[in-house]
Amino acid sequence: MKLTLKIWRQKNATTKGELKTYPIDGVEGDMSFLEMLDVLNEGLINKGEEPVVFDHDCREGICGSCSLQINGEPHGPDRLVTTCQLHMRMFNDGDTIVIEPFRAKAFPVIKDLVVDRTAFDRIQQAGGYISVNTSGNTIDANTIPINKHDADESFNAATCIGCGACVAACKNASAMLFTSAKVSQFALLPQGRIEATERVLNMVAQMDKEGFGNCTNTGACEIECPKGISLENIARMNREYLSASLKG
Amino acid sequence: MSTLDSKIPKGPLADKWTKHKNDINLVNPANKRNIDVIVVGTGLAGGSAAATLAELGYNVKTFCYQDSPRRAHSIAAQGGINAAKNYQGDGDSNYRLFYDTVKGGDYRSREGNVYRLAEVSANIIDQCVAQGVPFAREYGGYLDNRSFGGVLVSRTFYAKGQTGQQLLLGAYSAMNRQINRGKITPYNRHEMLDLVIVDGKARGIIARNLVTGEIERHSAHAVVIASGGYGNVFYLSTNAMGSNVTASWKIHKRGAYFANPCYTQIHPTCIPVSGDHQSKLTLMSESLRNDGRIWVPKKKEDAEAIRQGKKKPKDLSEAERDYYLERRYPSFGNLVPRDVASRAAKERCDAGFGVNKTGQAVFLDFASAIQRYGKERAGIQGNHNPSDEEILKLGKQVIEEKYGNLFQMYEKIVDENPYETPMMIYPAVHYTMGGVWVDYNLQSTIPGCYVTGEANFSDHGANRLGASALMQGLADGYFVLPYTIGDYLSKDIKTGKIPTDTKEFDEAENKIRELLEKLINNKGTHSVDHFHKKLGHIMWNKCGMARNAEDLKSAMSEIRALREEFWKDVKIPGGMNEMNAELEKATRVADFLELGELFAKDALDRNESCGGHFREEYQTEEGEALRDDENFMYVAAWEYTGDPGNEVLHKEKLEYENIEVKSRSYK
């Protein structure tokens, strides 16, 4: 395939960026989107130009590093995949593809397509844990049986990879899906109930402090989420938050 | 020649660890506040160690090259974590987990370390459940288990095909709690580039801030390396793109011995290579071998027809299929250990029975599991006379619940539906059993420099069993290191802060600056990847699943030549004082180009076959690995002398007092 790529180039956080056009030839359907960019970069290096920088690591859809806005959609046109698992067979010969970084006030651009997502880490640090010491001197794991349905729901919420697609998809750049996934994982488990009140209050407070927008229930986040994290988590977090606020 | 002391405590095997913990020195809580520890790497081994050390009261600094500790490659581990809980009542015990691990490692691991690992394994599960790790459960609410290769019990705990992710998020949450308390300072997007030694002790590191390019000095009373394995020396592997040997290699060059570099795990079930553009290989969890049956056609004509697309796997009747693992190893069948399964796949493909275009793939088939589960579930639902369609539907549902994300991943990459047609798989580089030599306390040959998880060599011998990497990483970080490092740090309570404005830090920083300047100013003609791919090619062809003396010798000289070419001709665009992905890759590949030569040397030196190390000259008539216990029952620990091709060998003799050393059979 022959493609035309329009890629956001930005030298650093303080310099203004712009879209630049790069033609590319010889793209195969079996290539992943990032392997296509590898080919582009190899060509740029050979020509003495600076390669396009983007975040990536595991390339199997689980680490949450990759983060491109492709033709306006986080992780591109396919569903339930990250960019590294997006394959070029989703595109046609002659296509023009616009590649930008995830856009949000809370995710400033570092360089080219790389953004700073440490706001997510800080939300987790505000309460995304159970306060148990790691000494191993806890009770036997089978002492607390957990209803399979709750355990599965908790797992489903816990599969969030923290990529930030939900924020990039949202017109308000809201981090509700991300935050609610962690709140839900613990809210559904008896171990997590003990600190549920403080957790939801602290995490939501941090989320607001980071400059993420409000949720207006458009559901774009759920559609673009590569792990299929459900909107139900947001509803659950709202309930948790309301009851915590009344207690507080 | 050898001065290696493994420091295994005396006494009966089952009492060693308890006795050792009672004997070692402790640091009082007030003094811990004056002691700093650096942890490099934030995967299961590093993340768990950082959280626990901080919780104990030490001041911890963590370093990772990723933008968040949560992205360390432990996250990609799929199938599960072993623990000798015996929840299934199927005869498991600490001893049996110990026995399976030593046997699985082909009698090349240390008894004392492995027993300790088995002993603390059960506690890991308790700890993780307390942290809110959502393991798979049965309908009664209790934890579920499955079985992995090389064992006859079900001791593997799991969270669908995302066990590593869930465990890592557990360790990350424990870290976050300590970051929130101010006890951990995380340095993300930072890469350790050298170790600083003061008066013979590890006292700090030189790191590069990958956003600004700044070279930074960080001091501490001890340094923990938990930076993972070196599988990317093969270029293509199941490792993450950034996984590298740099931290381990730099401490090696500063005096830490490197043990058994040639012990590499080639994982049998990965998605086959599709073309030259390939940047990495994707694992399909070993857990799939619980339900998937591996086969190739019995007749070469059928294999040929499948390769050309003239026949489909479904067209072949049962009688026309060769379930070669079930045929060769009736008692373990599809669940033989990884090294055995990988070699068997290679043997069939080399003999002309491969099933994809390149002839480098075998089938992993779920059809009979779908039937079995479908009938079972229909029965549970009260339908005792289900139609074929109902069976198929319910069976697929069960498979989806167990392996859903793996099947989805396969379909996205290969563009075929594995619920309908068998998966195609082939072995790929996955894990490195070799690593930095450590004693029982996980301390390297440099005082104050500890190495945990995949980065060390200690527990898996010449072959690791499935679901044991997660176990080891967390055991080291949560339950072993926090004790043993205290013994060392107890001598540092009066030392005070380690200054960074000293000649040792100057020397280390200047060396790194020179290295980076040299790379940037080289202005050669080829990219870093060009050299990395070439290195991978040499490694895979000559140091891969089957090795021989002649190939290994030529690998050594080819790698040496490639290294010289790299330093003459590599081209790095951009500058030093900015984010520069090519420069990051270059420092990593420069180290791989040195490690590769030592790897080949170690493989050449070990004139036997054991576990993942298979030398063609040493095999039984049936093609099984042939060990030479008389001459090679030792750990090969290499000392750097300025040239990776001329390192000095130190041997740590392995002694087995609690287990009978036998030839390994899974027949």
Of B142, B275, B415, the CB nearest to A145: B142
Taking a contact as any Cβ pair under 8 Å apart, which residues of chain A between 206 and 245 contact chain B? Answer: none
The two tokens of residue A144 are 């607390």
Residues of B in contact with A38 (CB under 8 A): 277, 279, 529
Q: Where are the beta strands (DSSP E) in B250-303?
A: 258-259, 264-270, 293-297
Chain A residue with Cα closest to B160: A155
Give the contacts of B485 (CB within 8 A, at least 6 positions apart). Answer: B37, B53, B222, B224, B441, B442, B450
The two tokens of residue B57 are 């009261």
* CA A178 vs CA A163, A182, A191, B349, B606: distances in Å: 9, 7, 21, 45, 51
Cα distance between residue B27 and residue A177, in whole Å? 43
Of B52, B141, B405, the CB nearest to A147: B141
B604 to chain A, minimum CA–CA distance in Å? Answer: 32
Taking a contact as any Cβ pair under 8 Å apart, which residues of chain A between 164 and 183 contact chain B? Answer: none
Residues of A in contact with B240 (CB under 8 A): 57-59, 63
Of B52, B278, B415, the CB nearest to A134: B52
Listed as ranges, residues in chain A with pLDDT below 70 are: 248
Mean pLDDT (chain A, rounded): 97
**Is the Cβ–Cβ distance between B235 and B410 less than 8 Å?**
no
Chain A residue with Cα closest to B167: A158
Taking a contact as any Cβ pair under 8 Å apart, which residues of chain B between 300 and 339 contact chain A? Answer: none
Cα distance between residue B600 and residue B539, in whole Å? 8
Cα distance between residue B27 and residue B489, in whole Å? 7
Helix B503-521 with B581-605: angle, nearest 10 deg: 100
In a mutational test of the A interface, the residue from B74, B183, B241 whose CB has the highest number of chain A CBs within 10 Å is B241
Of A45, A55, A85, the CB nearest to B527: A45
First to last CA, chain B: 40
Whether residue A65 lies within 8 A of chain B, CB to CB, comes out as yes
Residues of B in contact with A78 (CB under 8 A): 412
Cα distance between residue B425 and residue B345, in whole Å? 9
Chain B residue with Cα closest to A125: B176
* CA B313 vs CA B318, B330, B367: distances in Å: 11, 23, 11
ipTM for this prediction: 0.98
Give the contacts of B207 (CB within 8 A, at least 6 positions apart). Answer: B63, B187, B190, B191, B192, B193, B215, B216, B218
pTM for this predicted structure? 0.97
- How confident is the model over A148-177, as pLDDT tens digits? 999 999 999 999 999 999 999 999 999 999
Taking a contact as any Cβ pair under 8 Å apart, which residues of chain B between 58 and 87 contact chain A? Answer: 66-71, 73, 75-76, 85, 87
Whether residue B360 lies within 8 A of chain A, CB to CB, comes out as no
A70 to chain B, minimum CA–CA distance in Å? Answer: 18
**pLDDT mean by block of 10 residues, chain B; 667 residues:** 83 97 96 97 98 98 98 95 97 97 96 98 97 95 91 93 96 98 98 98 98 98 98 98 98 98 96 90 90 97 96 96 97 93 95 94 96 96 95 95 89 94 96 98 98 97 96 98 98 97 98 98 96 97 97 98 98 97 98 98 98 96 94 98 97 96 90
> 């919420």: which residue's tokens?
A157
Whether residue A162 lies within 8 A of chain B, CB to CB, comes out as yes
Taking the CB of residue B513, how many other CB atoms lie within 10 A of it? 14
Whether residue A76 lies within 8 A of chain B, CB to CB, comes out as no
B555 to chain A, minimum CA–CA distance in Å? Answer: 26
The two tokens of residue B382 are 């009260």
Residues of B serving a catalytic function are 338
Residues of A in contact with B283 (CB under 8 A): 60
Cβ–Cβ of A30/B274 closer than 8 Å? yes
Residues of A in contact with B277 (CB under 8 A): 28, 30-31, 35, 38-39
Specify the DSSP element, H or E, that contains B178: helix B163-180
Of B71, B172, B527, the CB nearest to A57: B71
Residues of B in contact with A32 (CB under 8 A): 279, 413
Residues of B in contact with A131 (CB under 8 A): 177
In a mutational test of the B interface, the residue from A1, A49, A54, A58 whose CB has the highest number of chain B CBs within 10 Å is A58
* CA A222 vs CA A87, A234, B506: distances in Å: 21, 10, 52
Cβ–Cβ of A32/B279 closer than 8 Å? yes
Residue A191's nearest CA partner among A139, A239, A241, A153 is A139
Cα distance between residue B251 and residue B222, in whole Å? 13
> 């990847």: which residue's tokens?
B529
In a mutational test of the B interface, the residue from A60, A91, A110, A153 whose CB has the highest number of chain B CBs within 10 Å is A60
Cβ–Cβ of A118/B68 closer than 8 Å? yes
In a mutational test of the B interface, the residue from A28, A49, A59, A62 whose CB has the highest number of chain B CBs within 10 Å is A62
Residue A52's nearest CA partner among A87, A17, A27, A82 is A17
Q: Tell me the one-letter amino acid at B389.
A: E
Q: Give the DSSP letter string of B390-408.
A: HHHHHHHHHHHHHHHHHHH
What are the backbone angles phi and psi of residue B583, rounded to the nearest 5°?
A: -65, -40
Cβ–Cβ of B240/A63 closer than 8 Å? yes
Q: Give the DSSP letter string of B631-667.
A: HH-EEEEEE--S-GGGPEEEEEE---SSS--------
Of B85, B130, B139, the CB nearest to A130: B130
State the pLDDT at residue B3: 67
Whether residue A18 lies within 8 A of chain B, CB to CB, comes out as no
**Is the Cβ–Cβ distance between A1 and A92 less than 8 Å?**
yes
Residues of B in contact with A144 (CB under 8 A): 129
Determine the distance from the C-alpha atom of residue B144 to the mean position of all C-alpha atoms in its chain, rounded to a whole number.
Answer: 24
**Is the Cβ–Cβ distance between B92 and B85 less than 8 Å?**
yes
Whether residue A159 lies within 8 A of chain B, CB to CB, comes out as yes
